[in-house]
Structure 1
């Protein structure tokens, strides 16, 4: 039985408490709290959900006695999916807030903008949702990523797409960001028969009017619409609008972007959509069952993958600080993170030497308006 799992069973932690040998909640020290920076696009669905997961983790940790007897405090900034704002936030976290640990973020492009500042300051940075493979190829030993990469995603989904859509005409619609363009590259490699791709456009992350795009999609007479995008608000509206004008192709979404909140936007137009992901709330392991039960009790709904990643980012940092017996040495905490297997809601997580977390995939299909795990 692992350290994390034993603590997940304590009375104070409906989910993972993660703190070995800490005092009771009443005995938390009056010392300064441990400040962990947390960046997110808080006005987006994914960003707000990830922040809720991180805040839930903080609440659970503090209820169980904090980390090494000190409370945890999140220093939250909204990066608004804007690289310039991300760079500014990174500077503020380092110079004004004096943090040594940062977690979160939605956009790969924003993460790229923040990493140089964190590297210069020696900050341990645990990226949450950014998926571009190059996020963890910066040669910095205090850089981590919890989400899967687009490359990992393409390997997982490729056999499914080839088997399900042989010879079908495909429309590609991808976000014009590092993440979206990398997804587009992988989709073009999968649908590589001559003339198979009949529509191929990108959209800006600030775009809100998709009427002309959807009309052109319909004219392409594509059988399948494949999308890579950060915000469910974007792709959800495109799928819904397409159905409203009578364009109802099969839908494929690059792994990691199919969220329950998106189905509230698409309505029945997403029925049958296929994707995959590294976390779903139905995963059958003790830590996840405790996490889902506790989160539902606190928030009234099931956690999605963005909630789980926000939660993991804070609980894993806390567990590694506890194991390293320091909240002041990011280098030592980074070494501890890479040395162990950490039990989280998605199962056992290990970090490669470049900081990338492993991930097993579940194949997902939208069925009766819900995200279902396919066998």
Structure 2
């Protein structure tokens, strides 16, 4: 009888402690051993290069933190990676695996907006969820307090880059080729909103493509017939953007102003597109030449690890792990999500891109106009 009573008492005590943990914002996981952070990225498929670059930055953050003794009195970070192949339905499956089976303490990732639109409900109110790259504004709508985003949005970029095009570059007419995704639609919507004035550039032709496409000759031929002053490319995959500019060059777009949606200019794209990338104008929120101590430390560590300088994707991947780990350390817990969210939102952070803070979960920053000159990405100058 005593054993039965004792067993019942133990069960009740366990239930009470579990309920207390949930009520305080925790997950009920043990605050010991490795801290598991999941990363869902496109490691194969049309956005694989972006995914791998982001992962390289995340791995560097893990190494730097662990080499420095870890966080929370010596606990080390363990990174669990999954491949979403840029497919929303697969992203959902991978998120569920990491959250329900692997029981990660936090989850990061997302290059394609359509994937993050599908996965945000899976992670909602369950754990810290850092959207690393995806830009569609709707990802942060109906936000739960544990969701954060590092990259700028279409709307944020538009206020800077679209106005820069209208006021500085001043093309009268623009032809647009865009991916048929949430991101592509959001960028087109932002373009139309920011170019609504009578003196603003006029979009005279629009063509869409699928992420599985590799031949863009047909839509580019239609756009060339519009005889626009500028070609505006909206694509969130290095391979696709490079193919579009390469094929546009072959079709004779050489005297046309070449514009790339902000946040997508990349040295690998320049390499793959060859002569087709020369003169491309875009904008981004990071350059590896930014002069601050955190960036010097980041660039030096990255070059030592990978033998080349990092770019925006690697920097965002780095931030996705670095900020989560540092916020856990400030909160004194790896699974008190209320405390971790408060730490992320309530502090100014040192980043390779400069001082950074979050507002309603969105990282704030500014974009810099860039162009390709002699095969290199440099600040734009008239």
Bin the TM-score by the shorter chain.
Answer: 0.7 to 0.9
Cα distance in 2 between the residues matched to 1:262 and 1:93: 31
Structure 2 residue corresponding to 1:160, chosen from 153, 161, 164: 164
Query: Is 1:140 aligned with 2:135?
Result: no
Query: Is 1:369 aligned with 2:375?
Result: yes
Q: 1:174-197: per-residue Cα shift (whole Å, max 9, x none)?
A: 111111111011223344559932
Cα distance in 2 between the residues matched to 1:138 and 1:93: 23
Q: Which residue of 1 aligns with 2:19?
A: none
Cα distance in 1 between the residues matched to 2:316 and 2:193: 29
Counterpart secondary structure, 2:286: coil
Q: 1:194-249: per-residue Cα shift (whole Å, max 9, x none)?
A: 99323201111121221212222222222211111110211211111111122222
Counterpart secondary structure, 2:363: coil
Aligned 1:91-130 pairs, distance under 5 A = 91-120=96-125, 122-130=126-134
Q: Which residue of 1 aligns with 2:155?
A: 151
Q: Which residue of 1 aligns with 2:227?
A: 221
Cα pair 1:154 1:254 within 8 Å, conserved = no
Tell me the CA shift for residue 32 of structure 1: 2.5
Cα distance in 1 between the residues matched to 2:357 and 2:271: 34
Cα distance in 2 between the residues matched to 1:335 and 1:88: 29
Q: Which residue of 2 aligns with 1:36?
A: 37
Aligned 1:300-339 pairs, distance under 5 A = 300-339=307-346
Counterpart secondary structure, 1:328: coil
Cα distance in 1 between the residues matched to 2:201 and 2:290: 39
Q: Which residue of 2 aligns with 1:292?
A: 299
What TM-score does the superposition give when structure 2 sets the normalisation length? 0.86
Cα distance in 1 between the residues matched to 2:202 and 2:155: 21
Structure 1 residue corresponding to 2:251, chosen from 241, 245, 252: 245
Query: Is 1:210 aligned with 2:223?
Result: no
Counterpart secondary structure, 1:157: helix
Structure 2 residue corresponding to 1:51, chosen from 49, 55, 65: 55
What TM-score does the superposition give when structure 1 sets the normalisation length? 0.88
Q: 1:281-309: per-residue Cα shift (whole Å, max 9, x none)?
A: 11111110111111111111110100000
Q: Which residue of 1 aligns with 2:75?
A: 70
Cα pair 2:174 2:201 within 8 Å, conserved = no
Structure 2 residue corresponding to 1:84, chosen from 81, 89, 95: 89
Q: 1:255-286: per-residue Cα shift (whole Å, max 9, x none)?
A: 11111111012112222221111111111111
Cα pair 1:170 1:191 within 8 Å, conserved = no
Cα distance in 1 between the residues matched to 2:347 and 2:314: 23
Deviates more, 1:335-344 or 1:62-71: 62-71
Counterpart secondary structure, 1:326: coil
How many residues of Structure 1 are paired with residues of Structure 2 in the alignment?
Answer: 343
Counterpart secondary structure, 1:310: helix
Counterpart secondary structure, 1:38: strand
Cα distance in 1 between the residues matched to 2:171 and 2:352: 38
Tell me the CA shift for residue 339 of structure 1: 0.7
Q: Which has the larger radius of gyration?
A: 2
Cα pair 1:101 1:330 within 8 Å, conserved = no
Q: Which residue of 2 aligns with 1:22?
A: none
Tell me the CA shift for residue 318 of structure 1: 0.9
Tell me the CA shift for residue 151 of structure 1: 0.1
What 5-or-longer segments of structure 2 have no aligned partner? Answer: 1-31
